[in-house]
Chains A and B, each alone.
Chain A
Amino acid sequence: MFKKLALVAGAAALLAAGSAWGANGFTLKGPPKVAFLYFKAKNDGGWTQAFDEARPKMEKALGMRIPYVENIAEDAAQITPPAEKFIQRGYNIVIGTAFGYSDTFKELAKKYPDIAFLNAAGVTNGPNLQSFYGRTYQSQYLCGMVAGAMTKSNKLGFVGANPFGLVNWTINAYEMGARRVNPKATLHVVFTGAWNDPVKERAAAEALADEGVDVIGQHVDTPTPQIVAQERHIYGTGHHRDMRQFAPKATLCSSVWVWAKYLIPEIKKIEAGNWHPNPYGDFISIKDGGTDIACCNTVVPKKVVKEVMAARQDIIDGKFHIYAGPIKDRNGKLRVAAGKVISDADLWKMNWYVPGVITQQK
């Protein structure tokens, strides 16, 4: 009965838009024990591997062993059993790593109100559940600067998965970064319609190279565009992890995930008690971890590296906002007014492109 009342109170707090979750935050019942559910294999070369690289750092900083299970598909029947097994074994902070865990984590969070849930790329939140994601447009903006400085043809390429908010904001930022150092740069974008299809990614990268593109950026999961760039003797910029591993000559820099920098303090906050999850999820900028740039290949001139790192510092210091107005889209419509910075809601539903972006969409 009491638990039900507490849930009702929680729901009421949710309705009071903008306010925090109830007066009292979430407090663990015992010492923290953290466990991971990985979306793919721990050595998938990208998204999941970035978490597995954060894990030993977290273990060291938090002084605990952090177990994980791999290959948990975005399906309640696959997510629930390992999550509950961890909970039965006394783990009280469960970290998920996929958008498709959102609904199941919401259910689990209701069922286990004493357990803290964190979910990367999720969209659900609650009194003991917080989703988190990185502001990838910051790191991709910096990669765009590198690409803009290195191109000779002034034609940049980008291989993206699907045209929606979080891919569109990286594309626009990439082009804005490129134009900052090279006003003539254009960005040709190919969407593959899949996150993890190396055959389609190669097709896209080859098509871009044939169009005369000489730097290829990416927001897909495999390193294939970088491998193609190396074969064609052009450059690329990676995503997820430092992709110089796959294409040491071609990859100039990469937009990378740095989860330890965010998760260690966040877990310490949960441990301290009275934790208030962000009702809209944590949307992390370079300053707090999440995303960053792995810079740079030795072929990038020192002057460019210096400029990129200065821009990174300005982002961290809050002196520079990438989506600060005035920003017009490529059809001339004003999207961000002068003196304003785009809202998070408008970022997530971004369906327009800045001037210089060339796509097959209108």
Chain B
Amino acid sequence: MLHFLVNWLASTPSFATPYALAALGLIISERVGVLSLGAEGFLLVGALAGVAADLEFGGLPAAALVVAMLAAAAVSLLFALLVVVLRVNQVIAGLAIVFFCQGLTSLVGTLGGWTNRAIAGLHAVAIWPLSAIPFAGRILFTQDLVVFATVPIFFLVSRILSRSMLGLRLRSVGENPDAADATGVSVSLYRFGAVLAGSALIGLAGGYLSVVDVKIWIPDMTGGRGWIAIALVIFARWQPWRALFGALLFGCIEALIPRIAAAGIQAPQYFLLMTPYLATIAVMVWVGLTKLGRLKEPAALGRPHVREERR
């Protein structure tokens, strides 16, 4: 039983990390008022770019993850151009980006010959001597480098958002772009930058899925995880640490499902596969009923900003 518990908890961070990074990327973009429904697409771009870079550069997983971030940011330029400069409806632009990226990654993966090729990828490392601690060493200190980097990344982003001048400006653009504009903050520039930075993090999450997790690129391999990240952001009420908690909750459940089956514990399969989504609904209800519900979404979320427009 203890063996089962330790193995389960030790595998949780690698499931939680892509959700956490993607949700954090979405929070950055949404806190400046840009609803980024294209997450699933950026995940795919990151996943393909990561594997492609790993294959082309001869197995440098860290470089592959950087390429994954850059590639997702590059594709998000198109999204940013649509919603920030051209002020296209953000919902429609986001959905279009998802379908665009699905086609693009399938095509480029085939043309480049990167589909269905196993890579060595990034492996877990044990931080000695901490990893020698019974149980906790295996769970907390025998993970891959991206898992270790995730907490500092969260700390940094949450610190910037809530404690710095840059964060104040970013948030003001998302809450009241007219006021921000009046104080001399360039709404378009901040939104552009936030979309790029956020998408890079989503690309990192995608690269994690392919380079660190499954170590292969297969078209449409993200399996809807971008949409789960979007739900995570909503129930985290756009707060980074809550998103990390939500990602861990999802990771726990996703890691548990196959383990129940492998151990031969009799439980209805389709009910178990449903549990992450039931958890989403349950947390949403809980958030709605408690004071957490008072944390509102960014007031200008989804609204294109037109300078000095009368409303």
Contact = CB atoms under 8 A, between A and B. Distances in A.
Interface of A: 40-41, 43-45, 71, 157, 163, 188-194, 196-204, 206-208, 210-211, 213, 222-224, 227, 231, 246-247, 358-362
A157 B11 CA distance: 18
B115 A45 contact: yes
A196 B263 contact: no
Contacts of B222: 199
B118 A197 contact: no
A302 to B, nearest CB: 28
Nearest to B223: A197
Given A189-B261, A211-B263, A41 B15 contact: no
Contacts of B11: 203, 206-207, 210
Nearest 7 A-B pairs (CB), nearest first? Answer: A45-B116, A358-B264, A198-B214, A207-B262, A207-B258, A190-B261, A204-B258
A222 B269 contact: no
Given A203-B258, A222-B216, A360 B265 contact: yes
B87 interface: no
B209 interface: yes
A44 to B, nearest CB: 7
Given A188-B264, A223-B216, 15 more contacts: A43-B116, A163-B269, A190-B261, A193-B270, A199-B221, A201-B214, A203-B255, A204-B261, A207-B258, A208-B258, A213-B262, A223-B118, A359-B264, A360-B272, A361-B266
A360 B261 contact: yes
B205 to A, nearest CB: 12
Contacts of A44: 115-116, 218-219
B118 A362 contact: no
B180 interface: no
A44 B268 CA distance: 31
How many B residues touch the partner, as a band?
Answer: 35 or more
Contact of A190 (B7, B254, B262): B262
B7 A193 contact: no
A193 B273 contact: yes
B280 to A, nearest CB: 17
B225 interface: yes
A246 B118 contact: yes
Nearest to B215: A227
Nearest to A194: B223
Contacts of B209: 199
A191 B15 CA distance: 18
Contact of A227 (B216, B254, B255): B216
A194 to B, nearest CB: 7
Interface string B204-216: 0000010001111
B118 A360 contact: no
Contacts of A202: 213-214
A196 B222 CA distance: 10
B104 interface: no
B171 to A, nearest CB: 33
A359 B263 CA distance: 8
28 contacts: A41-B219, A43-B115, A43-B116, A45-B115, A163-B269, A188-B261, A191-B261, A193-B269, A193-B270, A196-B220, A197-B221, A197-B223, A199-B214, A199-B221, A199-B223, A203-B15, A203-B255, A206-B258, A207-B7, A207-B258, A210-B7, A222-B214, A223-B116, A223-B216, A224-B214, A227-B214, A359-B261, A361-B266
Contacts of A246: 118, 216
Nearest to A230: B118
A190 B116 CA distance: 23
Given A41-B110, A193-B269, A194-B223, A188 B262 contact: yes
